[in-house]
Amino acid sequence: MPKQKKEGSRRASAGRASHKEGGPIEQSLGAAIRRLRDTHRLSVRTLASKCGFSASFISQVELNQASPSLSSLERIAAGLGVTLGEFFQAAEPHAPAVIKASQRLMLQSGWSRSQIESLGPASTGSRLEALLITIRPEGFSGGRLHSREIELFAIVFSGEVWLQLDEKTSLLRRGDAITIPAGTPHRWENKARKAVQLVMVIPRMAH
């Protein structure tokens, strides 16, 4: 198990959009959350109540002063009534249908040593969203088991990762795939010395 630090203790690295040559374009997570919150006309306090966090934590995330884990991002998304992919919609509402490697949008979670890249167009007309999740060594999806109210399909693109599903833990290697039913508690953890990449496909929420 990695050493559990208090969530948000590492400053979020996505304060501004950045772009390494040939790599994905890093987006501001805080700006995306704030834009979605404004769209849904939610106050910071109301959003915090919906996802079970303090108002100060939500404010720090919006200011890119706190770095939530992947599972916490999912809780914030649920509080907003959206999925993770819609954070990218907020950042880039008119993305092209073909996504080149250098055009992928990326969000980082320094605390859980992971990052999320959007593999599909930021279009509300799409019923599915595909995400590339990279978890670095000693990284994890969250400090504890987390469930979501939507079904999830995942396949290991490279590396290996431990998946805790309810009370059962399994090692998934390259090419292994799993479908996690809605409402099933789960947690990802990378105990290896190399980063692991997962391709996840989830249904987009109807609005």
Q: Which tens digits make up the pLDDT trace of 118-160?
A: 887 655 567 788 899 999 999 998 888 888 888 999 999 999 9
68 pLDDT exceeds 80?
A: yes
Question: Can you list the domains of the chain with their CATH numbers?
Answer: 18-203 (2.60.120.10)
Residue 195: pLDDT band (50, 70, 90) is: very high
Give me the sign of the Cα torsion angle 139, 23, 29, 147.
negative
- Report residue 177 as tokens: 């795939």
- Find the distance separating the first CA and the last CA of the chain, reported in whole Å: 38
- Say which residue, 10 or 33, is predicted with more confidence: 33
| Contact in structure between 95 and 119 (CB atoms under 8 Å) | no
CA dist., res. 75 & res. 119, Å (int): 21
Question: What's the average model confidence in pLDDT over 1-27?
Answer: 46
Q: Is the overall model pTM greater than 0.75, yes or no?
A: no
Upper half-sphere CA count for residue 8 (Cβ side, 13 Å): 16
Residue 66 DSSP class: S
